[in-house]
Chains A and B, each alone.
Chain A
Amino acid sequence: MADLRINLAGISSPNPFWLASAPPTNTGYQVQRAFEAGWGGAVWKTLGDPIINTSSRFAAVHFNGQRVAGFNNIELITDRPLEVNLKEIAETKKRFPNHAVVVSLMVEPKREKWHEIVKRVEAVGVDGLELNFGCPHGMAERGMGSASGQQPDLVEAQTMWVKEAAQTPVIVKLTPNITDITMTAIAAARGGADAISLINTINSLAGVDLDSWNTIPHVGGKGAHGGYCGPAVKPIALNMVAECARSPHIHIPISGIGGISNWKDAAEFMLMGATGVQICTAAMHHGFRIVEDMIDGLNNYLDDKGLASVSELIGKSVPRYSDWGDLDLNYQVVARIHEDNCIVCNKCHIACEDTSHQCIERLETSDGRSYLKVREEDCVGCNLCAIVCPVEDAITMVEIPSTELPMSWNQRQKAIGSMGQNEAPGAKEAV
Chain B
Amino acid sequence: MSDYGLFQEEKNRLDAYISRQFKIVGITENLSGATVELEHPGGGQAEVRLLTAEGRKYMSNLVIKQFTAAN
Contact = CB atoms under 8 A, between A and B. Distances in A.
Interface of A: 329-330, 358-359, 375, 377-378, 404-405, 407, 411-412, 415-416, 418-424, 426-427, 430
A430 B28 CA distance: 14
Given A419-B63, A423-B30, 17 more contacts: A329-B57, A330-B57, A358-B2, A375-B4, A377-B2, A405-B64, A407-B61, A415-B64, A416-B27, A416-B60, A418-B67, A421-B27, A423-B29, A426-B30, A427-B31, A430-B30, A430-B31
Contacts of A359: 2
Given A378-B2, A419-B24, A407 B64 contact: yes
5 contacts: A375-B2, A377-B2, A411-B64, A421-B27, A426-B30
Interface of B: 1-4, 24-31, 37, 57, 60-61, 63-64, 67
B24 A424 contact: no
Contacts of A412: 60, 63-64
Contacts of B57: 329-330, 407
Contacts of B26: 419-422
Given A358-B1, A378-B4, A427 B30 contact: yes
B7 to A, nearest CB: 9
A98 B60 CA distance: 59
A420 B28 CA distance: 10
A424 B28 contact: yes
Contacts of A407: 57, 60-61, 64
Contacts of A329: 57, 60
Contacts of A416: 27, 60, 63
B55 to A, nearest CB: 13
A402 to B, nearest CB: 10
Contact of A419 (B25, B30, B61): B25
A258 to B, nearest CB: 35
A418 B69 CA distance: 13
A329 B2 CA distance: 20
A319 to B, nearest CB: 24
A375 B4 CA distance: 10
B60 to A, nearest CB: 4
A330 B64 contact: no
A376 to B, nearest CB: 9
In order of increasing CB-CB distance, the 10 nearest A-B pairs are A424-B30, A412-B60, A377-B4, A415-B67, A415-B64, A427-B30, A422-B28, A358-B1, A404-B61, A415-B63
Nearest to B28: A422
Nearest to A380: B53
Among A330, A378, A405, A411, find the residue whose CB has the most chain B CB atoms closer than 10 A.
A378
Contacts of A358: 1-2
A355 to B, nearest CB: 14
Contacts of B30: 423-424, 426-427, 430
A405 B60 CA distance: 11
A415 B37 CA distance: 15
Nearest to B63: A415
B24 to A, nearest CB: 7
A427 B29 contact: yes
